[in-house]
Structure 1
């Protein structure tokens, strides 16, 4: 709910902030009192790189926050995890248990656990040098993106990457040269393919239970009784006895080499 409200009203907030900063700039011109600059560009030393003011960086950051959900799905393990959880719930025959909020929370924190080495590396090579004013903001973004790019490249199938390279009509000599705009859709395609493979394996034992229960009910002449009502307790019992949640979590983490 909060995310939807923020996504809806964030452009309005950015507009209001822009108006506020412009009014402060006008007040400075009228009174001569120093205020917050609405636009400041600082040229680099000899390399031609320009640094924008902190005010514009904040505005750009607030605007970029609206893309966080898409970035979460496109650049992390979240997609594979949430798709597997959804298929698992469907295989168990449970329509709303666990709820969507619980599944999203599990997927989010498991994604953080899996992505922890990548996040730590991005913090070490990109964020910390920027906070210590050793690199510019653009250089920090480029450095911090390299661990994510390496992670995505390791999880992307060559066939999927080649497909989007043909669609973009681009060729790359080394993996480091691959553009993010080509790598991200290839990565998501590979994640979906892997998630459905894991989901297929999860579906098999529960499907066998459904078939056995349906055959028994038909043999007993109880064709009006839904097999789902009878098979559901058996599927839940099987899932609990084999410690299913631990197996699912371990399998998803192991699929990323953890």
Structure 2
């Protein structure tokens, strides 16, 4: 199928609950170890090392996802969540309020607590995230200033899961969006970036959505051009256990912002 015919995350009909239920909350999902356990482990190791720290963290990721904030809430006093669509905001806020029908993130919370050696504390972990989230703000991809009219101070850390691939229609758009993400960070702050190599789509129900394909050379180049130094890059070959995605490798990057551009 021509990738130009794929639906787009922020422009077309998109089911945020369907995304999280399929890829992140179902322990029977064939790639749950890649999509949830690998990121949990890497973030746990990163924060525990002490190399990434500060007071405030911004999350700007695909869908109303929570699992990557479970570790962050132990190391940052405040979390600001940026979402791309109103349905995403509503779905995330349902989880914050513990509304009936909200996404069930217990699998991820228990997995992280297993890493930390205390599985019984998973509900405490979730509630800590709820207390840490101070704002949920819309990031409008169509605007030159995506946060307008909201003004946020630069922060110490930005986490971004998958979204640069799904909101960027081509590599120039990826460059532009990455620079906007970089503007959220203090000099010396860190971008914790999850993405994939050579992936072109992901499925939600019967709908196939666009995912911008790129390789390691491109990611290193655009990060450098956006003012970052790559401190660490971990690449995990995908087992390709299902036809919901066509990912070859997952990638986790720790990048430090060294200059404004």
The answer to whether TM tops 0.5 is no
Q: Which has the higher helix share?
A: 1
Q: Which has the greater radius of gyration?
A: 1
TM-score between the two structures when normalised by the length of structure 2: 0.21
Q: Which has the higher strand share?
A: 2
